[in-house]
Chain A
């Protein structure tokens, strides 16, 4: 029989620790919310945000779902959320930015959950949440009426549920949540492509290589979920670019639309590589880096499949790092460069 005093103290301590952790997480989340909400009140809309306002206000829900809108080549989920926000809160800056602020704040909680499930350490998870609360690009994008904050949230959620499944929690609800998050992230922004890269890195980090992974009975559910998660956005993309061809008009760069000839196409392309688009918010060097990152990812996938038996892939950690860097660095540096 355990000594009663010792038993109650231990129980009390554990409860207190959990309570403390919840209080700290709540405070971090609230602070993260403030960092995102405060600038949204007094900053007027800038160039890109006015596109969100225009599309959300003047396109019907039916047009948004069917992809019948112009000026932006990305899928409609964020516009639908903004439309709802306009209906509920009006057309003020804070109303237009509300979806980004809410989802940006929820990202903090999901980063905490993700860190905890990976590291199994409360302090690490809280530090991760705190960094998310103040990380400049995340704060910036969460205070912007654009779809990047929603994308980051959905990506984080998808990765979290995938890691939960990989960590042997094969509940049906986890598969469903993963499928939804993956699908919705692709219906928010085409940069969800980079989620695929992150998912691939998770597979390799957990030493699950693709060939073995596909043969595993246990993890066939993940493959099926991923397939279902990508099917709906794939149909939408097909409609947007191939059937209605509306997407094509938004993708091409401004000057080339004005003068659709070969000389102008080359000029636009060279400017894109050398200078970047529109007064260099994303300089050309970033575009080159993104091309490099895609090539590296393809190389990694090839190496993983080619050398699956010899485990040569372990020796290519530098390539993973470089691929990750080239994906993460552009938005971070683009914003830091503005200082």
Chain B
């Protein structure tokens, strides 16, 4: 699912950055750096950006998958749940995370990139004896329409949404139970 806020911010910041850097490179660099204050300021700016950006790595929690699964599993039973990963690579991520959390036989259904096929796969599997079914999403192209279709399918099979976790990078865990 594409997140418009992220995109706008990316394009805006990138455009500003590229325009600034291009204009600096295309102008007379020597003339700019002959002014001492400006050159000092530039050095301070570059170094500050470097230090802050490096520190940023330490405070960015890359794996929202762990956060989502831990939060869910703290309140729900793993064995009752069928995890449905919305594409193959998402399923690798979920499989690795669950294994690291100590679940060595991850109960994961990886569905097709093609939503029509994915819908059929989900339809087939939710009839199985699982009290809960969770849709795990990471960077997929599923939109609101696709989610509505799956939600209706779940409702028709006697399940209702009871858990909805959303994180950056398009990570989400939407769960349905009997």
Contact = CB atoms under 8 A, between A and B. Distances in A.
Interface string B4-23: 00110111011101100110
Interface stretch (A7-15, A193-201, A226-234, A331-339): A331-339
The size bracket of the interface on B is 35 or more
Interface of B: 1-3, 6-7, 9-11, 13-15, 17-18, 21-22, 25-26, 49-54, 56-58, 60-63, 65-66, 87-90, 92-93, 95-97, 99-100, 112-117, 138-141, 169-170
B21 to A, nearest CB: 6
Contacts of A43: 61-63
Given A54-B92, A321-B25, A140 B14 contact: no
Interface in A309-337: 318, 321-322, 325, 329, 333-337
- Interface of chain B: mostly helix, strand, loop or mixed: helix
A71 B93 contact: no
Q: Which interface residue of A39, A53, A338 has the most chain B CB atoms within 10 A?
A: A338
B27 to A, nearest CB: 10
A131 B50 contact: yes
Interface stretch (A17-25, A115-123, A282-290): A282-290
B54 A139 contact: yes
Contacts of A135: 50, 54
A51 interface: yes
Interface of A: 35, 38-39, 43-48, 50-51, 53-54, 71, 91, 93, 131, 134-136, 139-140, 143, 254-255, 257-259, 271, 275-276, 278-281, 283-286, 289, 318, 321-322, 325, 329, 333-339
Q: Which interface residue of B56, B66, B116 has the most chain A CB atoms within 10 A?
A: B56
Nearest to B114: A258
B87 A254 contact: yes
Contact of B14 (A35, A258, A278, A285): A285
A50 B93 contact: yes
A59 B115 CA distance: 28
Contacts of B58: 38-39
A35 B13 contact: no
A46 B62 contact: yes
B63 A325 contact: no
A14 to B, nearest CB: 30
Contacts of A318: 25-26
A318 B112 CA distance: 47
A322 B6 CA distance: 26
Given A44-B65, A136-B53, A280-B2, A254 B140 contact: yes
Q: Which interface residue of A50, A93, A271 has the most chain B CB atoms within 10 A?
A: A50
Contacts of A325: 18, 21-22, 25
B92 A336 contact: no
Nearest to B6: A280
B11 A285 contact: yes
Nearest to B97: A44
